[in-house]
Amino acid sequence: MKTFLNIIYWFLIVFAVIQFIPIDRTNKPVDPKVDFVKVYNTPKNVEQLLRTACYDCHANETIYPKYAYVAPISWSIKHHVNKGKNYLNFSVWGNYNRDLKKNMLDMTVNSLKVYSMPMPGYIAQHPEANLSKAERILLENYFEDILKTENY
Ligand code: HEC
């Protein structure tokens, strides 16, 4: 019993201490000159879907849920947000070169088709990001059109 209480005690201490490890949750400012939706003048319905399903990890407009303030969950969330933005960040789209843009458009269409994005773990916490078939097709067509017209 004593050992058990000791474990609980230390667990609580460690849990309390790790809350003080700072995590940067500030979003970098978005420059409209390079912001994807501004550059392409994206229709509102498409923009809304991107905001709901992709922006938390792929734009400098992350909205952190309450549980993102509790370590160690916060570390895992921050890790995914950083990783997602490293791959693709719609907020700095205009800074990408042509090859990277084409590549990203291809991968975006693919990720929607094979249901790899939004990440399944994210959908579990954000049911509104669970895109319907029709919503996926709307997004796929939008990105495919940009590819077809080579307007990137
Ligand atoms: C919870 C965070 C999160 C959300 C939400 C999210 N992504 Fe991702 N995305 C990632 C991460 C992390 C990666 C890096 C690769 C990996 O771990 O699979 C990634 C990678 C990608 C890539 C790069 C290529 C690839 O497939 O690996 C594309 C394209 C992409 N995401 C598109 C999207 C689109 C489109 C949406 C919305 C429909 C979306 N993502 C929503 C986290 C996210």
Mean pLDDT of 36-49: 98
User: Among 119, 138, 143, 146, which is best to mutate for testing ligand 1, by the most ligand atoms less than 8 A from CB?
Assistant: 119
Q: How confident is the model at residue 151 (pLDDT cuts 50, 70, 90)?
A: confident
Q: Which residues approach ligand 1 with their CB closer than 6 A?
A: 53-54, 56-58, 80, 83-84, 87-88, 104, 107-108, 111-112, 116-119, 122
Percent of the chain predicted with pLDDT > 90: 97
Mean pLDDT of 121-128: 96
User: Among 62, 81, 87, which is best to mutate for testing ligand 1, by the most ligand atoms less than 8 A from CB?
Assistant: 87
Residues sharing a CB contact under 8 Å with residue 4, sequence separation 6 or more, in sequence order: none
Is residue 77 exposed (0-12), middle (13-18) or buried (19+ Cβ within 10 Å)?
A: buried
Model confidence over 58-109: pLDDT tens digits? 999 999 999 999 999 999 999 999 999 999 999 999 999 999 999 999 999 9
Supply the mean pLDDT for the chain: 97
pLDDT of 34 above 90: yes
8 Å CB contact between 30 and 62: no
Least Cα distance to 90 among 62, 58, 118 occurs for 58
